[in-house]
Amino acid sequence: MHVLLPSLDYLGIIRCPKVEMFPEGGLPSNLKNMHLYGSYKLMSSLKSALGGNHSLETLRIGGVDVECLPDEGVLPHSLVYLKIYDCGDLKRLDYKGLCHHSSLKDLRLIDCPRLQCLPEEGLPKSISTLRIWICPLLAERCREQGEDWPKIARIEHVLL
């Protein structure tokens, strides 16, 4: 893929459960936008597929049946926008998977009804927009008087 599609800047892999890994040689270095839906196995091989890619800015992850996301070291440091959606089993966000992302500005958590709380340590300080939709347990905790409000009070745009 790296050789055949060197100028590829968007890649969407949606509802392809039999695809378990990215091609040898990794993904194109120009890749800026990726959408993965329905394959946790692809998520776990993302780190090695991206290699030294410092251009991926947007990542959408959906339809994975896991209790915790993102795994430590999987997300590239260049990420500006992260959307996690339609994850019915997701219960928590892994702080170690998020904490080193100083470029992450926009975090969207959508339709994760079992997501219970934000990481105890909070979210990266770089986040200026947080959107929480159809995550009733988390939304309740993130309201002004909620238990997680102190973790997000500094965020410029919080949409519940």
Alpha-carbon gap, residue 120 to 100, rounded angstroms: 15
Chain Cα centroid distance, residue 16? 19
Average pLDDT (71-90) is 93
Among residues 20, 57, 23, 26, which one has the least CA distance to residue 40?
20
For 10-159, CATH number?
A: 3.80.10
Model pLDDT for residues 86-112, shown as the tens digit of each residue: 999 999 999 999 988 899 999 999 999
Residue 142 Cα distances to 49, 51, 85, 87, 107, angstroms? 35, 35, 18, 19, 14
Alpha-carbon gap, residue 147 to 78, rounded angstroms: 30
Alpha-carbon gap, residue 92 to 71, rounded angstroms: 11
DSSP 42: H
Res 70: pLDDT: 92
Alpha-carbon gap, residue 134 to 56, rounded angstroms: 27
If pLDDT is split at 50, 70 and 90, which confidence band does 141 have?
A: very high
pTM of the model: 0.94
Cβ atoms of 83 and 105 closer than 8 Å: no
Question: Per-residue pLDDT for 57 more than 90?
Answer: yes
